[in-house]
């Protein structure tokens, strides 16, 4: 709908196509170093601060050089985590966890000897049971030494690892970073870069509309993306033309999920 109305060939603000901002590129490049040297990396931050963008950039690494296994269903048991890894590493899942682990180790060395660097990403790692994470860490100890395990989660993950019982995991961390809220200039740059990518003029959103988006998103990248998309959909619905103005943004911001709790007390 948006593509047809605005005359686009690509979807705006599509997660898989979003380009890394400078600070995200720095994190990505550091993670790449640990993919070459091996490590246990923590990528943590509040929801919507850009962790998924960095994760998607890692998943798009060239298949000839990297094997990237992404485990997103972290509420599953350790056995189900092994199933996902078996699928990513191209080996058949066995009923015995021990047999699966042995096959995974064999496949890891096979891929490593063929010149591939190995990366395992655990998404929403703060939701994963520590015992399952501990078993996974022990399994990866037998992987090639340049294997990189990346734990992506909210800041609660750091608190969990701070517990004395989890020091065996924390002591092996080689790199950690917190994705923070964006400052206003970076948020404007994000919006303009997305317009450049899909061939829209920077005047698609009026200056006043851009400023309202920046203020309303409070530095949260996901909120910015969702607000811009919602505004473009509202422009299509209302046939408001191809320039999104402050009135369109305000109509979107009237939706309950954009309201603060104090604004909802009369309902």
Neighbours of 160 (CB within 10 A): 17
- pTM here is 0.86
Q: 151: which strand partners?
A: 42, 122
CB 176, CB 41: distance < 8 Å: yes
Q: Is the pLDDT of residue 70 over 60?
A: yes
Tens-digit pLDDT profile for residues 212-223: 999 999 999 999
| Gap between the Cα atoms of 133 and 139, Å rounded | 10
Mean per-residue pLDDT, 117-135: 92
| SS3 category, 43 | strand
* Two tokens, residue 24: 């995200």
**Domains defined for the chain, CATH in brackets:** 22-179 (3.40.50.300), 182-256 (1.10.8.60)
What radius of gyration do the chain's Cα atoms show? 22
Tens-digit pLDDT profile for residues 2-26: 888 888 888 888 877 778 888 899 9
Mean per-residue pLDDT, 225-244: 89
Confidence at residue 54, expressed as pLDDT on a 0 to 100 scale: 94
| Gap between the Cα atoms of 177 and 189, Å rounded | 22
């Amino acid at each position: 709908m948006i593509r047809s109305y605005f005359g686009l060939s690509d979807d705006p603000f599509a997660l898989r196509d979003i380009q890394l901002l400078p600070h995200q590129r720095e994190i990505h490049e550091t993670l790449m170093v640990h993919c070459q040297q091996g490590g246990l990396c923590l990528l943590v931050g509040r929801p919507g601060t850009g962790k998924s963008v960095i994760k998607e950039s890692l998943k798009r690494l060239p298949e000839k050089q990297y094997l990237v296994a992404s485990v997103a269903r972290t509420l599953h048991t350790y056995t189900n985590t092994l199933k996902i890894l078996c699928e990513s590493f191209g080996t058949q899942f066995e009923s015995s966890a021990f047999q699966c682990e042995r096959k995974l180790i064999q496949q890891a060395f096979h891929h490593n000897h063929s010149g591939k660097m190995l990366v395992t990403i655990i998404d929403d790692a703060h939701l994963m049971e520590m015992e399952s994470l501990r078993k996974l860490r022990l399994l990866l100890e037998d992987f090639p030494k340049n294997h990189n395990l990346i734990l992506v989660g909210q800041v609660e993950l750091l608190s969990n690892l701070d517990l004395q019982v989890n020091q065996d995991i924390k002591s092996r961390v080689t790199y950690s970073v917190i994705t923070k809220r964006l400052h206003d200039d970076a948020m404007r740059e994000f919006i303009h870069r997305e317009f450049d990518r899909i061939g829209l003029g920077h005047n698609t959103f009026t200056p006043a509309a851009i400023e309202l988006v920046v203020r309303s998103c409070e530095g949260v990248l996901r909120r910015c993306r969702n607000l811009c998309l919602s505004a473009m959909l509202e422009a299509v619905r209302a046939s408001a033309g191809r320039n999104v103005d402050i009135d369109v943004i305000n109509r979107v911001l009237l939706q309950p999920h954009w309201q603060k709790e104090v604004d909802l007390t009369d309902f």
